[in-house]
Protein backbone atom coordinates (compact mmCIF):
# COMPACT_ATOMS: atom_id res chain seq x y z
CA UNK A 1 0.00 0.00 0.00
CA UNK A 2 1.52 3.26 -1.11
CA UNK A 3 0.99 6.38 0.94
CA UNK A 4 0.99 9.40 -1.28
CA UNK A 5 1.50 12.99 -0.34
CA UNK A 6 -2.05 13.89 -1.28
CA UNK A 7 -3.03 16.63 -3.63
CA UNK A 8 -0.74 19.67 -3.19
CA UNK A 9 -3.25 21.91 -4.97
CA UNK A 10 -5.98 20.97 -2.48
CA UNK A 11 -3.62 21.61 0.44
CA UNK A 12 -2.69 25.04 -0.91
CA UNK A 13 -6.37 25.91 -1.47
CA UNK A 14 -7.33 24.94 2.09
CA UNK A 15 -4.35 26.81 3.53
CA UNK A 16 -5.13 30.00 1.59
CA UNK A 17 -8.81 29.78 2.56
CA UNK A 18 -7.86 29.53 6.23
CA UNK A 19 -5.50 32.50 5.99
CA UNK A 20 -8.16 34.56 4.20
CA UNK A 21 -10.82 33.68 6.80
CA UNK A 22 -8.45 34.59 9.62
CA UNK A 23 -7.67 37.91 7.93
CA UNK A 24 -11.36 38.75 7.50
CA UNK A 25 -12.09 37.97 11.16
CA UNK A 26 -9.11 40.01 12.30
CA UNK A 27 -10.21 42.97 10.17
CA UNK A 28 -13.79 42.80 11.46
CA UNK A 29 -12.75 42.76 15.09
CA UNK A 30 -10.49 45.79 14.64
CA UNK A 31 -12.62 47.84 12.24
CA UNK A 32 -16.16 46.62 12.87
CA UNK A 33 -19.15 48.82 13.52
CA UNK A 34 -19.80 47.40 16.98
CA UNK A 35 -17.15 49.33 18.88
CA UNK A 36 -16.27 48.79 22.50
CA UNK A 37 -17.69 52.15 23.61
CA UNK A 38 -20.97 51.68 25.48
CA UNK A 39 -23.90 53.91 24.65
CA UNK A 40 -24.81 56.55 27.22
CA UNK A 41 -27.89 55.68 29.22
CA UNK A 42 -29.90 52.60 28.51
CA UNK A 43 -30.29 49.49 30.59
CA UNK A 44 -27.58 47.19 31.94
CA UNK A 45 -28.54 43.52 32.00
CA UNK A 46 -26.33 40.90 33.60
CA UNK A 47 -27.13 37.21 33.44
CA UNK A 48 -26.26 34.71 36.13
CA UNK A 49 -26.45 30.94 36.02
CA UNK A 50 -28.43 29.92 39.07
CA UNK A 51 -31.01 31.26 41.47
CA UNK A 52 -30.20 33.66 44.30
CA UNK A 53 -30.98 32.13 47.68
CA UNK A 54 -30.04 34.93 50.11
CA UNK A 55 -29.38 38.55 49.21
CA UNK A 56 -27.57 39.11 52.49
CA UNK A 57 -23.92 40.19 52.56
CA UNK A 58 -23.29 38.02 55.62
CA UNK A 59 -24.24 34.80 53.82
CA UNK A 60 -23.23 35.69 50.26
CA UNK A 61 -20.07 33.58 50.30
CA UNK A 62 -22.10 30.35 50.29
CA UNK A 63 -23.38 30.80 46.72
CA UNK A 64 -21.64 32.38 43.72
CA UNK A 65 -24.90 33.90 42.44
CA UNK A 66 -25.57 35.50 45.82
CA UNK A 67 -22.01 36.77 45.94
CA UNK A 68 -22.30 38.47 42.53
CA UNK A 69 -25.70 39.95 43.33
CA UNK A 70 -24.57 41.30 46.71
CA UNK A 71 -21.50 42.85 45.05
CA UNK A 72 -23.75 44.69 42.58
CA UNK A 73 -26.38 45.81 45.09
CA UNK A 74 -24.21 46.76 48.07
CA UNK A 75 -21.06 48.02 46.32
CA UNK A 76 -21.78 51.72 46.83
CA UNK A 77 -22.99 51.51 50.42
CA UNK A 78 -19.69 50.97 52.24
CA UNK A 79 -16.05 51.77 51.67
CA UNK A 80 -13.04 50.25 53.43
CA UNK A 81 -9.71 51.86 54.23
CA UNK A 82 -6.35 50.15 53.75
CA UNK A 83 -6.70 48.34 57.08
CA UNK A 84 -10.16 46.95 56.32
CA UNK A 85 -12.16 49.31 58.54
CA UNK A 86 -15.37 50.92 57.32
CA UNK A 87 -15.06 54.58 56.31
CA UNK A 88 -17.86 56.92 57.33
CA UNK A 89 -18.88 59.06 54.40
CA UNK A 90 -21.84 61.30 53.87
CA UNK A 91 -24.31 59.85 51.40
CA UNK A 92 -24.09 61.29 47.94
CA UNK A 93 -27.29 62.32 46.18
CA UNK A 94 -27.92 59.39 43.93
CA UNK A 95 -30.85 57.36 42.78
CA UNK A 96 -32.98 58.13 45.86
CA UNK A 97 -32.69 61.89 45.29
CA UNK A 98 -33.57 61.51 41.61
CA UNK A 99 -36.52 59.27 42.46
CA UNK A 100 -37.90 61.73 45.01
CA UNK A 101 -37.72 64.64 42.58
CA UNK A 102 -39.29 62.67 39.74
CA UNK A 103 -42.24 61.50 41.89
CA UNK A 104 -43.01 65.06 43.02
CA UNK A 105 -43.29 66.29 39.44
CA UNK A 106 -46.02 63.78 38.58
Chain segment 36-87, per-residue pLDDT in tens: 666 777 777 778 888 888 888 888 888 888 888 888 888 777 777 888 888 8
Domain total in the chain = 1
Is position 53 within any domain? yes
Residue 3 lies in a domain: no
Decide: 61 and 67 in contact? Cβ < 8 Å: yes
Domain that holds residue 58: 49-89
Q: Which of 72, 32, 33, 36 is nearest to 52 (CA)?
A: 72
Q: Is residue 25 part of a domain?
A: no
| 34 domain residue, yes or no | no
Report pTM. Answer: 0.37
| pLDDT for res 34 | 57
Rg over alpha carbons for the chain, rounded to the nearest Å, is 27
Q: Residue 32's pLDDT band (boundaries 50, 70, 90)?
A: low
The runs of H, that is alpha helices, within 1-106 are 8-31, 64-74, 95-104
Amino acid sequence: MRRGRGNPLLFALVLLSGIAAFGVLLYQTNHGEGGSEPAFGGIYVEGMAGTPARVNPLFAGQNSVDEALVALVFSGLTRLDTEGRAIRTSPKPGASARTASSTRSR
